[in-house]
Amino acid sequence: MLEGLDPEQREVATALHGPVCVLAGAGTGKTRAITHRIAYGVRAGILQPSSVLAVTFTNRAAGEMRGRLRQLGAQGVQARTFHSAALRQLQYFWPKAIGGSMPRLVDRKVKLVADAAAAMGTRLDRGELRDVTAEIEWSKVTQTIPADYAYAAAKAGRDIPRDPAEVAHLYAAYEDLKRARAVIDFEDVLLLTVAILQDRHDVAEQVRMQYQHFVVDEYQDVSPLQQRLLELWLGDRDSLCVVGDASQTIYSFTGATPDHLLDFKGRHPGATVVKLVRDYRSTPQVVHLANGLLTQARGRAAGHRLELLSQRPAGPEPAYTEYTDEPAEAEGAARRIRELIDSGVPAAEIAVLFRTNSQSETYEQALADAGVPYQLRGAERFFERPEVRKAGIALRGAARFGGNDSLLDDAVDLPSQVRAVLSGEGWSSEPPAGSGAVRERWESLAALVNLAHDLAVATPGATLGDFVAELDERANAQHAPTVQGVTLASLHAAKGLEWDAVFLVGIAEGMLPITYAKTDEQIEEERRLLYVGVTRARERLHISWALSRAPGGRPGRRPSRFLDGLRPGTTATVGHTGASAGGGVERGATAGAAAVPRRTQRTQRTPARCRVCGRTLTDAGEMKLMRCEDCPSDMDEGLYERLREWRAVQAERSGQPDFCVFTDRTLMAIAEARPENSAGLSRIPGVLSRKLRSYGPDVLAICAGRQADADVEDA
């Protein structure tokens, strides 16, 4: 199981006790390391497959992880996205924790946001609708309610599409509409799962009994809400392995933050930290450019950068090309791509990456004119294409009744069976001439043929029924097979992928960094975005820019500042303030010893004791009340009821379940403590700083026998 792993990867695979943090640079084999870690733990009898939950951020990554674990003999391990894992738990526990049927999940919220805006009489164009939807998503993953949106957005430096108060009202209207239609969105899946695990100690314990060991990939991209869910899954245990690279943090606009990764050692003093810097993906020339980009970076993430060491033979130097205008740039890229394909480079091993999706159309046209097949990543989902749906029906029928199908008489193995079935759907051994819809349909069917071949290699003896089951699993996870065409994708969509040849286009000031990136933090994220683009290339890297947008336009553009000092004839304009980190292992104080529960590591925290009898409290519900369940309560029943009535009003206004405002336990604790000021209220477990700011004045007014401010306003 450990053969073929380098020394640092082997350290990852064998570090099976206590918290582990893997700082993994681009192309350093992190997925290989963590899947071998899980498989090694299973083989060694240390990990039970059903007790392991591996979480990542995309269905494609989760599907890839499941496939690798299956090949390593670690069947039964759950590899899911955060949302998929939470949704599964929510569906299971909803009848027990909430009662009744779970609301319907909407997969796209834009239509609901549009309906909410219409109900308010607000007109949003297509761009504003998209931006407001993004603000609602950011608010929810950062656990910001509508009433707090304006303050939180200003503090975070959000580029708000409209007046903050108007966005807050749209957010509230959206939540009201969801509630009226009895639906929930993807962020609600996380919010509701967190709420249930916080409120129902029995449910949390059941989840923790099921999952004993956690692995989190792309940990630099976790949001505060996902981190909270992870903490609730863990409880007081520390059997956690996280993997990430702060230099690849490019989703902060969604609420992602690398702070959890960078602070991991502080939260887990006994953690083993392993740095992976041996780059097996890219040539030394590509790696040199990637390292150079980060050398000029600033900020906290830059201070923890990993200097990659290429393990591949030398390749061509990155090419830099300047064009007069964008159409000329697209034609130049298409011409070079045509030359690569003619020289033997598969079209599927070539990508054109750009900063914004609006740049795609020019390159689609240029590639079509050059007779180059392409696929647009992020467009219509593969398994929703009509030809793929029809092919699935045909394959399912052949799997059931293939013995009576003359098409399969001469098909002796799985690939030949799939080719025979799909020949009736429009597939042929040679692609059709030209481009357009006919070519796109053929590319989709060819992807299924290639997938059948891959399955036959990975699982000798696989049947047509096995192939249909594989398609069903991939469709559920939206894990699409590779289409044989040049990939067109935004830099954000390219994260986690790689190609032999990469064309980075439009690398000019105003586009990268994008014109609306104003703050130092935003500029540095744009630099990291280019770093991600560079590290997608295995061998060939082409970087280009245009001096003007349209033919005959004023040539006022200049190459991106990020290329200063890196492309020939330029000098660097920014100095790096942090030191790079080499590979290796940093063992925590408890490494090699029995794992120390997280609670025992927090020596500063005094044990919670019952305020009636003095017994040490361990139950979460008792700790919130600060007394044993059986000890007498001095709760003010009238105050408790007034608090419950107030909570119902607040929940209705914010469009959240009651327990998202305060749980029953927290209200009981308030009714028992009867705090007189903010300091007393803040000492009650469950009253966090955000809730203290939002609800503190109302709660203190109710405790003092007065009406809450909101009630006075309503009156």
Domains annotated on the chain, with CATH: 7-89+190-276 (3.40.50.300), 107-184 (1.10.10), 310-380+484-563 (3.40.50.300), 382-477 (no CATH), 608-714 (1.10.150.80)
Judge residue 548's burial from the number of C-beta atoms within 10 Å of its C-beta, 0-12 exposed, 13-18 middle, 19 or more buried.
Answer: middle
Query: Residues 213-236: pLDDT tens digits?
Result: 999 999 998 988 899 999 999 998
Q: Are strands 584-586 and 213-216 parallel, antiparallel or unpaired?
A: unpaired
> What is the pTM (predicted TM-score) of this model?
0.70
Q: Are strands 584-586 and 272-276 parallel, antiparallel or unpaired?
A: antiparallel
pLDDT above 70 coverage of the chain, percent? 86
Q: Is the pLDDT of residue 608 over 80?
A: no
30 is in an annotated binding site: yes
pLDDT of residue 600: 37
Q: Is the pLDDT of residue 86 over 90?
A: yes
Going by pLDDT thresholds of 50, 70 and 90, the confidence category of residue 604 is very low
pLDDT of residue 612: 63
pLDDT of residue 409: 66
DSSP-assigned beta bridge partners for residue 667 = none
Can you tell me which residue has the tokens 């957010």?
Answer: 171
Q: Higher confidence at residue 249 or residue 125?
A: 249
pLDDT of residue 540: 96
CB 490 within 8 A of CB 354: yes
Using alpha carbons, select from 666, 672, 262 the residue that is nearest to residue 695: 666
Query: Residues 672-696: pLDDT tens digits?
Result: 888 888 888 887 877 777 788 888 8
Going by pLDDT thresholds of 50, 70 and 90, the confidence category of residue 599 is very low
31-56 average pLDDT score: 91
Residue 23: strand, helix, or coil: strand
pLDDT of residue 605: 39
Q: Is the pLDDT of residue 620 over 70?
A: no
Secondary structure string (H, E, C) spanning 463-523: CHHHHHHHHHHHHHHCCCCCCCCEEEEECCCCCCCCEEEEEECCCECEECCECCCCCHHHH
Q: Is the pLDDT of residue 659 over 80?
A: no
Q: Is the pLDDT of residue 374 over 80?
A: yes
Please give the distance of CA 594 from its chain centroid, rounded to a whole number.
Answer: 32
Going by pLDDT thresholds of 50, 70 and 90, the confidence category of residue 561 is very high
pLDDT of residue 71: 87
Q: Is the pLDDT of residue 390 over 50?
A: yes
CB 418 within 8 A of CB 395: yes
Judge residue 434's burial from the number of C-beta atoms within 10 Å of its C-beta, 0-12 exposed, 13-18 middle, 19 or more buried.
Answer: exposed
191-195 average pLDDT score: 91
CA dist., res. 166 & res. 84, Å (int):
32
Q: Is the pLDDT of residue 381 over 80?
A: no
Judge residue 620's burial from the number of C-beta atoms within 10 Å of its C-beta, 0-12 exposed, 13-18 middle, 19 or more buried.
Answer: middle
Q: Which two tokens stand for residue 524?
A: 């540095």
User: Which range, of 114-118, 151-155, 659-663, averages the lowest pLDDT?
Assistant: 659-663
Q: Is the pLDDT of residue 25 over 80?
A: yes
Write down the mean pLDDT value for the chain: 83
Query: Residues 477-528: pLDDT tens digits?
Result: 666 666 678 999 999 989 889 999 999 999 999 888 988 888 888 899 999 9
pLDDT of residue 189: 92
Q: Is the pLDDT of residue 52 over 80?
A: yes
Q: Higher confidence at residue 57 or residue 339?
A: 339
Q: How many residues can be counted in the chain?
A: 715
99 is in an annotated binding site: no
Q: Is the pLDDT of residue 363 over 70?
A: yes
Q: Is the pLDDT of residue 701 over 70?
A: yes
The listed range with the strongest mean pLDDT (20-29, 354-363, 401-410, 700-709) is: 20-29
426-450 average pLDDT score: 73
Within 8 A by CB and 6+ apart from 139, the residues are 145, 146, 149, 152, 153, 171
pLDDT of residue 577: 45
552 is in an annotated binding site: no
pLDDT of residue 122: 85
Using alpha carbons, select from 487, 528, 563 the residue that is nearest to residue 333: 487
324 is in an annotated binding site: no
Going by pLDDT thresholds of 50, 70 and 90, the confidence category of residue 614 is low
Alpha helix (H) ranges present in 98-163? 110-120, 126-141, 149-156
pLDDT of residue 458: 80
542-561 average pLDDT score: 89
Going by pLDDT thresholds of 50, 70 and 90, the confidence category of residue 186 is confident
Query: Residues 261-307: pLDDT tens digits?
Result: 988 988 888 899 999 999 999 999 999 999 999 988 888 777 778 89
pLDDT of residue 573: 58
303 is in an annotated binding site: no
Cα angle 622, 94, 230 (rounded to 5 degrees) comes to: 60
391-413 average pLDDT score: 75
297 is in an annotated binding site: no
Q: Is the pLDDT of residue 23 over 80?
A: yes
User: Which range, of 126-140, 616-630, 677-691, averages the lowest pLDDT?
Assistant: 616-630
